[in-house]
Structure 1
Amino acid sequence: MLLDFEKPIAELEAKLEDMKKIAQESDVDVKDAVKSLEARIKNLKKETFGNLTRWQRVQLSRHPERPYTLDYIYEMSDDFVELHGDRTVKDDKAIVGGFATINKQTFMIIGQQKGRNTKQRQMRNFGMANPEGYRKALRLMKLAEKFNKPIITLIDTPGAFPGLEAEERGQGEAIARNLKEMFMLKVPVICIVIGEGASGGALGIAIGDRVFMLENTWYSVISPENCSTILWRSWDYKEQAAEAMRVTAHDMLDLKLIDGIINEPLGGAHVDLKAMTKELKKVIMEHIKELLQKTPEERIEQRIDKFCKMGVVKE
């Protein structure tokens, strides 16, 4: 699937493939033409992806080929033992988690998981967790705390599931409890938005010592489409909503709501999973080393101060 702004690049890449095919099937020398076209494609990519609008970054965060939580876990960990269930209702497959080893350091990794096809999306509920998903996440966090293992959360959700049954089982309470408990965790917590970071559904696993966003992701209290629906009674103004809401990683950094941006390969995270994962691992290991040098009391105090400063205005 190609996004609208990717189509001119795809057309040039198709021409390049045709040119290479001609060179293989005949004696025509097209080396100079190939080099020229490759340079043109590279420049077009830099220009396109260096000047994306906020709405285009939202679109890129939802790219169907974009890596999901399990893709990153399997790529960057030496092993992964998935743990299931909240010990109350059931195992919510919209949230996955378990112990994994990265560079000989054991972590508890928790994140939202979307599906690749219709069957998987139904099973994963499109990455929208029910209350039991957040309770499972909290159970795993407490397990990590018990064994003194750092926690990594990977955020990628269009929001917590808004269904009646979710509300009946205490969706708001489950998310609120997670917020409270995550502030008081004695182990280091690193949170990374890898795709969509929508509303309390994202925030329910996003209270940490360090919060990062991948370059082409978004983080906001509401999606641009839903904001457009509320303000203009139509989805047609989603681009204006995205601009007004300032939802991108660069916006969040400017507003001091996150600690840093993790660069993606040119074209997006889906273009090169290995390169993206390498960058992800690098950031995780750098900051976990720093956080492990602090006492639990220092981390908790700094974590609380960090979030208390958000939204404070002095006149």
Structure 2
Amino acid sequence: MISYLEFEKPVALLEARIAELRAASVHDDVDISAEIARLEQKSADLLASTYASLSPWQKTQVARHPARPHFRDFVDHAFDEFIPLGGDRHYGEDEAIMGGFARLGERRVMLIGHEKGNDTESRLRHNFGMGKPEGYRKAIRLMEMAGRFGLPVVTLVDTSGAFPGVEAEERGQAEAIARSTEACLALPVPMVATIVGEGGSGGAVALASAERVLMFEHAVYSVISPEGCASILWRTAEKAPDAAEAMKVTAQHLHKLGVIDRIVGEPSGGAHRNPAAAAKSLAKAIGEELDGLAGKDAAALRQVREDRFLRIGSL
């Protein structure tokens, strides 16, 4: 069953009416299939028009939708032969950041990304996608392995930010994030990063400093959450919608600013309504970007990354 967001209430009412009519048609001799079809089309049109004009704050809500596909969903629908690799070889395993060998079409890649979980138990196990130092050090290890084996790196970013707990700070959170960012920039192989949900703060940048950065059309990417920004500027999280507007967190804004390179379309009503279709769309986009990077040597790839990020500040 779909969990409706506040701005989707008109759609929810229509779909509830459709469900009532379908239930009634089972026990009624009157043919109401035409009325059901009319309402279904009206619902689809309303959903499309609603999602075509979302505000930055509404997009933030979509990016956080509990049913939005996460790392494991993309592994299941977009990649084959995934072989998970764990541990940072220094401290331990962090299940907020997952990674391993995978196949995208005919291409073998190193796949790394955040996993938020999809129910209470798994969300706790994956720490809601908030990586700890050992998670970022694992990502570094996997990137270095990809460099040795000549495998492209693909990252799926979906985190509200790195874990801010005391234990993470004690184990060197800031250094781990900085070194993960450095590892991205120093890679001798192609790297394509995609913001699939929330791209929050350094916890996202640490896996997204690639020569090609993609973003789902209803994802968000920012240095701080709208609530955090509002709390700093206005001393109240209630101003989060205003903060989201001012921060330009959407894919459409960031594409114009040159922060991301490509917007990947989602199914009507968001990726959470059809995860399989969203994953296939993403796989196609990533494959095309990797095709465009094929043949570049290590020096050329590093130069592309350097030019890309230096260009952002000059826009």
Same fold (TM over 0.5): yes
Q: For residue 198 of structure 1, what is the aligned residue in structure 2?
A: 200
1:29 equivalent in alignment to 2:31? yes
Matched position secondary structure for 1:309: helix
Matches within 5 A, 1:63-142: 63-142=65-144
Q: Contact 1:114/1:125 (CA < 8 Å) preserved in 2?
A: yes
Q: Deviations over 1:99-121 (max 9, x none)?
A: 01121211100001112222222
Residues 82-91 or 279-288, more deviating: 279-288
Question: Contact conserved, 2:157 with 2:195, CA < 8 A, in 1?
Answer: yes
The one-letter code sitting in structure 1 at the alignment partner of 2:252 is H
**CA–CA distance in 2 between the matches of 1:20 and 1:166?**
52
Offset at residue 166 of structure 1 (A): 1.2
Secondary structure, aligned partner of 1:108? strand
> In the TM superposition, what is the alpha-carbon distance from 1:23 to its structure 2 partner?
2.4
Aligned-pair distance for 1:77? 1.6
Instruction: Tell me how far apart the structure 2 counterparts of residues 21 and 38 of structure 1 sit (CA, whole Å).
Output: 15
| Distance in structure 2 (CA, Å) of the matches to 1:119 and 1:181 | 32
Shift of 1:27: 1.7
Q: Distance in 1 between matches of 2:258 and 2:58?
A: 22
| Whole-angstrom distance in 2 between the partners of 1:69 and 1:28 | 46
In the alignment, which of 249, 252, 260 is matched to residue 250 of structure 1? Answer: 252
What is residue 6 of structure 2 aligned with on the other side? 4
CA distance in 2, matches of 1:29, 1:147: 63
Q: Is the 8 A contact 1:108 1:144 kept in 2?
A: yes
Q: Say whether the 8 Å CA contact 1:22–1:28 is kept in structure 2.
A: no
What is the TM-score normalised by the length of structure 1? 0.97
Whole-Å separation in 1 of the counterparts to 2:43 and 2:167: 50
Instruction: Specify the SS of the correspondent of 1:110.
Output: strand
Q: Which amino acid aligns with 2:56?
A: R
> How far is the alpha carbon of 1:169 from its aligned partner?
1.2
Matched with 1:231 is 233
Aligned to 2:279: 277
Amino acid at match of 1:13: E
**1:169 aligned partner, one-letter code:** R
Specify the code of the residue in structure 2 equivalent to 1:240: D
Gaps of 5+ in 1: none
Which deviates further from its counterpart, 45-54 or 189-198? 45-54
1:132 maps to amino acid: E
**Selected match of 2:211 from 200, 209, 233:** 209
- Could you give the per-residue CA deviations for residues 137-193 of structure 1, whole angstroms, max 9, x where no partner exists? 000000111110100000000101111221121111111112222111111000000
Letter in 2 for 1:133: G
What displacement does 1:258 show?
Answer: 0.5
**Which of 264, 267, 270 matches 1:268?**
270
If the length of structure 2 is used for normalisation, what is the TM-score? 0.97
Q: Percent identity?
A: 45
In the aligned structure 1, how far is the partner of 2:136 from the partner of 2:305? 20
Q: Is the 8 A contact 2:116 2:127 kept in 1?
A: yes
After superposition, the C-alpha distances for 1:218-268 in whole angstroms (9 at most, x for unaligned) are 101000000111111111110111111110000100111000100000011
Give the aligned CA root-mean-square deviation in angstroms. Answer: 1.1
